[in-house]
């Protein structure tokens, strides 16, 4: 079945540091890939997405590239801010008759000033 593995947290960075959160997946066919962000006490918000191989999703300075050869979708940001502190979830949907978003377990990011 489908699965998502993302790096365990927590991750603690200083402001303006470079961020990478690794995400790899197992899925049938050609899944769509997503990164969601959850701020404290809130629901999940879609951060970025990619629907086919080599697509790059980007939003708010975050980027992730759909790499089919390595089944990866790593999240990166060049310079993090305190306001980026949140839990980040990698997720996929393999389409067809699969209506489920399969999530990784989440990575807690804390950015210190």
Partner 1 sequence: NAGVTQTPKFQVLKTGQSMTLQCAQDMNHEYMSWYRQDPGMGLRLIHYSVGAGITDQGEVPNGYNVSRSTTEDFPLRLLSAAPSQTSVYFCASSYSRTVNGYTFGSGTRLTVV
Of residues 103, 108, 110, 111, which one binds partner 1 by CB under 8 A? 103
Of residues 22, 24, 26, 32, which one binds partner 1 by CB under 8 A? 32
Using the rule CB under 8 A, is 26 a contact of partner 1? no
Asked if 49 and 20 touch (Cβ cutoff 8 Å), the reply is: no
Using the rule CB under 8 A, is 34 a contact of partner 1? yes
Angle (CA) 53-56-59 rounded to 5° is: 145
Using the rule CB under 8 A, is 53 a contact of partner 1? no
Find the shortest distance in angstroms from Cβ 57 to partner 1.
10
Of residues 19, 21, 23, 44, which one binds partner 1 by CB under 8 A? 44
Per CB under 8 A, residues contacting partner 1 are 31-32, 34, 36, 42-46, 49, 51, 89, 91, 93, 95, 99-101, 103-106
């Amino acid at each position: 079945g489908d699965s998502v593995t993302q790096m365990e947290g927590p991750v603690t960075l200083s402001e303006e540091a470079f961020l990478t959160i690794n995400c790899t997946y197992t899925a049938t066919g050609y899944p769509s890939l997503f990164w969601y962000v959850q701020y404290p006490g809130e629901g999940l918000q879609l951060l970025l997405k990619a629907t086919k191989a080599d697509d790059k999703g980007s939003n708010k300075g975050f980027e992730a590239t759909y790499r089919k050869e390595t089944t990866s979708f790593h999240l990166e940001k060049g310079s993090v801010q305190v306001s980026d502190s949140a839990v980040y979830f990698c997720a996929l949907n393999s389409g067809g008759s699969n209506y489920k978003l399969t999530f990784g377990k989440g990575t807690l990011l804390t950015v210190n000033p």
